[in-house]
Structure formats: C-alpha cells, structure tokens
Amino acid sequence: MERVEDIIAKVKKIEIKTVKLVNEVFGGEYHSVFKGQGIEFSEVRPYQYGDDSRLIDWKVTARQNYPYIKVFQETRELNVLIVFDASYSTFFSGLEGKREIGGEIAGILTFSALKNNDKTGLILFSDGVEKYIPLNKGKKHSLNIVRQILSYRARRKGTNFSKTLEEINSFLKRKTIIFIISDFLFDEEDKFEKALKILSKKHDVVGIKIIDDFERLSDTVGIMPFQDLETGEIVYVGKKAAEKIGKKIKDFDKYLKEIFLFSKADLLEISTGEDYFPKLLKFFKLRERRKLR
C-alpha cells in the first residue's frame, strides 16, 4: 500500500494537469458538452438569420416547407456521478497504471463540472457498491474524489456490474450523467445488459474502458508468470496460450460493445500507453454534435 505522502503528491500532480487542460482546452468545447446535457427541448420556431444551422428540425422543416429550428431551455445544475471500478484488477500496471489514468480522467470530469457549477459524486465498487461520496461542489470535494480513486482498496474480491448498476438505479432519483470508469474485466456469468439498459433509460451513461497494453498477450514470447489480482492465482502463459487468450479478449471486447450499443449508452476505450486526451476530446465533440441533431 502506498504511503499517504505519495498519494497526496499524485493528487496534486493530477490537479495541476487536469485543471490546466480544463481551463485551456475544455473551456469551450467541453463546457458546451456539459451544459448541453443540462438543456431540454422547449419548442420549434421559424429559422432566423444568424441561428445555428445545426439546430434545424428537419422533420418540421419538411412538413412546413420552411426551415424551423429547435429551441432549448437550460435546466437546473447538473449531477455528474463517477462510478469507478475499485476491484483489484485495476491495480494491474505495465508502465502507467489504470488507477493513475482513471484518476486523471475523473479529475478532468470533476473539475469541468466544478467550473460549470455542477455537482459531482463518486461511487467505488467491486462486487457491489462499496463506498458512496454524495454529490457536492467545491475544490476540496473534487480533490477528495481523485484521492479516493487512487488510494481506495476494495474490501471484497471480484467485480459484479449487474448488482452495482441495480444498486445505483435504486437510489439515484434525479437524471444524472454517469461515467463508469473500469477495465470491464468481469465474470462471463455477469450478464448486465438488462441492468445497464434500465439505468440508461433514465440517465446519460458513458462507459470509459481503461486497458493496459501489457494485458493484450498476443505478442508474448516465452513463458511468463501472471497473478490474478482478484483471486491470487498464478498462471504461466506461453505463446500459444497467449494467442488463445488474445482471441478471447477480442471476442470479449466485441461483446462489451454490443452490450453498450444495446443499452444506447456510449463506450470509450482508453489505453494506458497512449495520450488519452485527444481521444477524450474527440469523443465529447462527437457527443455534442449528436445532441444537436
């Protein structure tokens, strides 16, 4: 377990990095994405010179034979909930760990919400919800969310998405933007399509999958020992076994994408070995465009 001083140093580093990204880059695009989630359709009206053409309602325009645009009104402040996988597999680390990357992404989301005067909260889960930090505002609150992500050790082994999502749905009443940050390594028997679909009907759900390239074993040479961080079991993996595992992972990835597509929820994959920021920014720009259609 890391020392408190090391955790504090990491939190400070993430604060400096994420706040800079939010202020210099996300101040425009990302700001509008966050606020775009907090507006509701009000009415349609005839197009006027200077209106944003992206707001044109093409169905009404076709019926009226004249361009009409959608009019939105801003609702109250938003609720942004970070649902973070605290299971032991997220401590797997090649060069830069999943926890550190997850903490940085959570920092960007949290400080963006803070800049927009929105509330954020945190759920840490393993085979169910283990810890809940209620929705709140403030820099101290935001830093605590990042600190908890970096330092929390799950009390129970394993990962159960179905149970976790059902628990969240049972107590989360108001519409919320939910970011599920996880490596999405779960038992094949954990069929969580139904729970995810129910949750995404009421809330805006985004899955952020963090993978470590070292877990993609198709290029492994020789025999290497690996320990399952959730069960403690040690297995020795050779080239043929690695190729078999690699194929299984690809099939698993396809299945995961189908689950999110079926539930009408978004899924973004981030590798610990890449610069995640351009991909994150592009992802939310695409979401913004979709919301205006």
Residues 156-207 have pLDDT tens digits of 888 899 999 999 999 898 889 999 999 887 777 778 999 999 999 999 999 9
Cα–Cα distance for residue pair 55/94, rounded to 1 Å: 45
* Spatial CA neighbour of 137 closest among 114, 106, 112, 115: 114
Here the tokens at position 13 are 């580093």
Q: Which residue has the tokens 């040690």?
A: 234
pLDDT band for position 22 (cuts 50, 70, 90): confident
Cα–Cα distance for residue pair 181/56, rounded to 1 Å: 34
Residue 250 vs residues 88, 92, 114, 131, 255: alpha-carbon distances, Å: 22, 19, 37, 31, 9
Statement: residue 263 has pLDDT above 70:
yes
User: CATH second-level architecture of 4-32+77-291?
Assistant: 3-Layer(aba) Sandwich (3.40)
Residues of the chain with CATH 3.40.50.410: 4-32+77-291
| pLDDT given for residue 209 in this prediction | 94
Cα–Cα distance for residue pair 110/135, rounded to 1 Å: 11
Statement: residue 227 has pLDDT above 80:
no
pLDDT band for position 251 (cuts 50, 70, 90): confident
Please tell me the least confidently modeled range out of 7-11, 20-24, 203-207: 20-24
* Spatial CA neighbour of 11 closest among 90, 81, 104, 93: 104
Once rounded to an integer, what is the mean pLDDT over residues 252-262? 89
Report pLDDT digits (tens) over 264-282.
999 999 988 888 888 888 8
| pLDDT given for residue 278 in this prediction | 87
Alpha helices by DSSP H, 116-238: 139-151, 161-171, 193-202
Here the tokens at position 285 are 């720009």
Report pLDDT digits (tens) over 64-93.
999 999 987 766 678 899 999 998 777 655
C-alpha atoms less than 13 angstroms from C-alpha of 71 in its C-beta half-sphere: 8
Q: Which residue has the higher pLDDT, 235 or 58?
A: 58
Please tell me the least confidently modeled range out of 57-71, 100-114, 166-180, 234-248: 234-248
Statement: residue 112 has pLDDT above 90:
no
| pLDDT given for residue 126 in this prediction | 92
* Spatial CA neighbour of 91 closest among 44, 168, 154: 154
Sheet with 204-211, strands from edge to edge, namely 129-136, 119-125, 79-85, 177-182, 204-211, 266-271
Cβ 98 vs Cβ 91: under 8 Å: yes
pLDDT band for position 95 (cuts 50, 70, 90): very low
| pLDDT given for residue 131 in this prediction | 95
